[in-house]
Chains A and B, each alone.
Chain A
Amino acid sequence: MPEFAATGFEAVAAILLAGSVVLVVAMIVAAVSIRAVGWLVAASRHGRDQWARTFLFGVLADGEEQAPRGPLRQRAVADTAMRLSSKLRGADRAALANWLQSHGYRQRAVEMMRSSFAIRRARGTRLFVAALCDRETGPLLELLEDRDARVRAAAARALGQCGISTAVPFLVRAAQSGTRPLPVSVAAMSIIHTAPRSARGLGLAWDSDNPAIAAMAAEVAGFLHLTDARVRIERLLVAGDSPVVVSAATALQRLGDPRSTDAIARSLEREDVQPWARIALHGIYADMHGVRLEP
């Protein structure tokens, strides 16, 4: 009986050992296969990217290339066009947009923007911008109110990339939205890209009840050096809370108008300004006025 038990245990152990070996070998084969497939997919994608670049360089040169056949190549062309469009301007940008429009990519972008998948809608905005040469922004403005935050941000970036200053009020309104807000930082960057030429271009942002929006207006004006915004920004030094006051002072520092130093000095007299903001204001005042104030 003990001999039989020992033999039984050995048999079970042998089966377990063999099973383990098979399992390990299977795992190694699976890992190698996954790696190999991944490598092949990446190599194939890289090859298509290279092909799409060369193809689009041909489009830029003469604009007479025929649309590629096959979904993978069409997708590679769309992806490469999205990337290239943000790196080109002038006749190259127009040639690319014209070619994309005349070969159905604009329509494809609109269909993508109506997709039920957020990531596809966001990709659609980028393709739409690449194919945009007639300054048609309606579909992008609609997506500023999309239910998905990524799509709203993608639409805002696309509007910024188009450089259309009439989109600014829509961007401001989207940033102020209570239900589907656009992040203020995204709105700010998009507005900077549209480059409004005067303080008036920032519209409702100056009078917003939302301190972050008012601060954004000041920052954008400072960054774009909108000198006619000086008085509006100085008003924020009086009316805003500490973050707004610092944003306004930083913007005034960027504008560099010496008339603003008095306004900054007055903001230092405000008792409701927080200590960290007071330190920042001291630094800005000292920089603009060439003096050092003792805190």
Chain B
Amino acid sequence: MAKVIVIEDDPDISLLVSHKLRSSGHDVEVETDGQAGLAAVRSVKPELVILDWMMPRMNGIEVCEAMRADPELAEIPVLMLTAKAQEIDLERAYGVGVDEYIQKPFSTRELVVRVERLLSA
């Protein structure tokens, strides 16, 4: 069982992801904006963060940059789940230190596989 924080402002997606990961035995916390998400990551220090890109107050790229700049959080794997689908977006996400990138619409099976791979790495 791993601690996972889902930072996502769409309740359909955040609840689906948390439901799926809880079914897989993980301990999941959901935050709905980037700022609150980063604060949760700092206090919980999860083993994985699932991050949306476009969010209120602080976007996913900024959250990831802040995590990578903080020595205590820099090693936490980040999976970005976003509707942004252009090559340039992918480049930017990997550029700021995202470990995995899944485009919306997404498959929950693929998500779980990638989550398990990141957690076992």
Contact = CB atoms under 8 A, between A and B. Distances in A.
A84 B110 contact: no
A44 interface: no
Contacts of B10: 87
Interface in A35-61: 53-54, 57, 60-61
Nearest to B13: A87
B12 A90 contact: no
A88 B15 contact: no
Contacts of B15: 53, 57
Contact of A86 (B19, B20, B105, B107): B105
B105 A87 contact: yes
Contacts of A89: 105-107
B21 to A, nearest CB: 12
Given A57-B19, A61-B23, A92 B107 contact: yes
Q: Which of A53, A80, A92 has the most CB of B within 10 A?
A: A92
Contacts of B11: 53
A93 interface: yes
Interface residues of B, dominant DSSP: helix
Interface in A69-115: 80, 83-84, 86-93
B109 interface: yes
Interface string A144-186: 0000000000000000000000000000000000000000000
A87 B105 CA distance: 4
A80 B108 contact: no
Contacts of A53: 11-12, 15-16
B19 A87 contact: no
A287 B20 CA distance: 46
B12 A92 contact: no
A96 to B, nearest CB: 11
A92 B109 contact: yes
Contacts of B13: 87
A88 B105 contact: yes
Contacts of B19: 54, 57
Contacts of A87: 10, 12-13, 16, 104-106
Interface string B38-69: 00000000000000000000000000000000
Contacts of B107: 88-93
Contacts of A57: 15-16, 19-20
Contacts of B109: 90-92
B71 to A, nearest CB: 35
Contact of B105 (A54, A61, A80, A93): A93
A57 B104 CA distance: 17
A57 B21 CA distance: 12
Nearest to A87: B105
A86 B83 CA distance: 11
Interface of B: 10-13, 15-16, 19-20, 23, 104-110
Given A57-B15, A57-B20, A93-B105, 10 more contacts: A53-B11, A61-B23, A87-B106, A88-B105, A89-B105, A90-B107, A90-B109, A90-B110, A92-B109, A93-B107
Q: Which 9 A-B pairs have the closest CB atoms?
A: A90-B107, A89-B105, A57-B19, A87-B105, A92-B108, A88-B105, A89-B107, A83-B12, A53-B15
23 contacts: A53-B11, A57-B15, A57-B19, A57-B20, A60-B108, A84-B12, A87-B10, A87-B13, A87-B16, A87-B104, A87-B105, A87-B106, A88-B105, A88-B107, A88-B108, A89-B106, A89-B107, A90-B110, A91-B109, A92-B107, A92-B109, A93-B105, A93-B107
